[in-house]
Amino acid sequence: GVQRNEAPKAVLHPLWQSPLTIPGGTRQSPINIQWRDSVYDPFLKPLKISYDPTTCLHIWNNGYSFLVEFDDSTDKSIIVGGPLENQYRLKQFHFHWGAINDWGSEHTVDSKFYPAELHLVHWNAVDYPSFEDAVMEGNGLAVIGVFLKLGARHEGLQTLVDALPAVRHKDTVIEFDEFDPSCLIPSCPDYWTYAGSLTTPPLTESVTWIIKKKPIEVDEDQLEAFRTLLFTSDGEEERRMVDNFRPLQPLMNRTVRSSFQ
């Protein structure tokens, strides 16, 4: 009979039903950061962070994570400096975490997982008219990654944790104002930076990653509060929102630079 050549079936991610690997992807995220392979770049500037807490809008559960979204219609909450050519506007922040404390972060350092990772998502409003446009451009986004480790209770995070029961189900939202996310960023200025991608659909290769070297400390109850969230909508069979991190991606032809020696 006639031999029909079947195209190889893409392996789909169990959660995102999107291809695990992007065909032709050369700068995918997350990656393992091998400390000794990172290259100190003396020309990297300190990252300047200036957020206006009144730009905070709401918290919502989008079925992948919980996001705190900001009014990005002005330059009130921005970052500038670091590896960035110009300033970027804060759009939202969210987290990735595990079912247990042994894993949960997206990036790893010397193959070590942290129990969770915070992403503060910014977009290049100098070159592009909207976040949606910036998502498609190589220099469109800048995401600050902050590792969470088990330790002392984080008072700033607690205001967020207290609001989580109100967004337990997918597509629920509550108003949230006067929150300054810089309280979630370590004061130590040291970071790694590399060219990468979004770690959830559309997985576009548009992110300048800025990964803080120092983690913040949160306590067990605060991590457990993340794990009470659901991937599912009200009325659906409940699936706990845990392990919402993407598998590590190949480094390929990239160098991770460090702002410190």
Q: Looking at beta carbons only, is 163 or 198 nearer to ligand M29?
A: 198
C-alpha atoms less than 13 angstroms from C-alpha of 111 in its C-beta half-sphere = 0
Q: Looking at beta carbons only, is 55 or 92 nearer to ligand M29?
A: 92
Q: Token pair for residue 151?
A: 């330790």
Q: Report the DSSP pairing between strands 39-40 and 32-33.
A: unpaired
Separation CA 24–CA 252 (nearest Å): 11
One of 91, 119, 169, 246 touching Zn ion (CB under 5 A): 119
Q: Looking at beta carbons only, is 119 or 122 nearer to Zn ion?
A: 119
Torsion of CA 218, 219, 224, 226, to 10 degrees: -20
Residue 246 contacts Zn ion per CB under 5 A: no
Peptide bond between residue 215 and the one before it cis (omega within 30 degrees of 0): no
**Least Å distance between CB 21 and ligand M29?**
16
**Least Å distance between CB 72 and ligand M29?**
12
**Least Å distance between CB 247 and ligand M29?**
13
**Least Å distance between CB 168 and Zn ion?**
20
**Total residues at interface with ligand M29 (CB under 6 A):** 9
Residue 55 contacts ligand M29 per CB under 6 A: no
SS3 label, residue 156: helix
Which entry of ligand M29, Zn ion, none binds 55, CB below 5 to 8 A by partner kind? none
The count of other CB atoms within 10 Å of the CB of residue 17 is 8
Residue 132 contacts ligand M29 per CB under 6 A: yes
Torsion of CA 108, 119, 241, 218, to 10 degrees: 80
Helix (H) or strand (E) holding 248: none
Q: Report the DSSP pairing between strands 32-33 and 108-109.
A: parallel
**Least Å distance between CB 94 and Zn ion?**
6
**Least Å distance between CB 9 and Zn ion?**
27
**Footprint (CB under 6 A) of ligand M29, residues 152-211:** 198-200, 202
DSSP 82: T
Q: Looking at beta carbons only, is 2 or 72 nearer to Zn ion?
A: 72
Q: Tell me which residues touch ligand M29 (CB under 6 A).
A: 119, 121, 132, 135, 143, 198-200, 202
Residues that bind Zn ion (CB under 5 A): 119
